[in-house]
Amino acid sequence: MSGHRQLLLVLALLQAAFGLLAALGQLLFVAGNPAYLAVPLVRAALLVTAAAVGRRWGMVAILVLEGLSVTGFWVSAVVGLLPWVDATVTPVGLLANVALPGAMTYLAARLLAAATPAPIAAAPARPAPTLFLPTGFMS
């Protein structure tokens, strides 16, 4: 499973780079206000850190972040069906917001399942004590 961890880290770095590039592009449209960089920077740092540590909390954090990404994409697509809202679905958007989080969710869930210990089986019940009497004792 170690190959899955490295692949998850590479995909997390790729997604963090996509998010930071999108944030820098957005910075052009908000007149250079750096306050809009706070959330993408925190998300990228959390995503890469969670993938790098490979612990249980990291896999859970990746599942939550990727679930938010996919949910946000679909909410945006549904809101885009309204006549006064425009939401353009592009191949890059599908790749960055559906396929990449889907692959990361699969890898994180697989690593989480492999790291979860199997439940401990209950100890078998002990038989009732048996009284062994020597032969000829009661005759």
Domain-wise residue ranges, the chain: 2-114
The pLDDT score that the predictor gives to residue 28 is: 86
Token reading at 105 = 């969710």
- Residues 17/61/92/32 CA torsion (nearest 10 deg): -50
Geometric angle at alpha carbon 11, from 13 and 29, rounded to 5°: 55
The pLDDT score that the predictor gives to residue 55 is: 87
pTM exceeds cut of 0.95: no
69-117 per-position pLDDT tens digit: 999 999 998 998 988 888 888 898 899 899 999 999 999 999 998 876 7
121-136 per-position pLDDT tens digit: 666 677 767 766 666 6
Q: Which amino acid is at 42?
A: V
Distance CA 40, CA 108 (A): 21
Q: What are the C-alpha distances in Å from 51 to residues 2, 26, 138? A: 12, 26, 74
In percent, how much of the chain has pLDDT > 70? 83
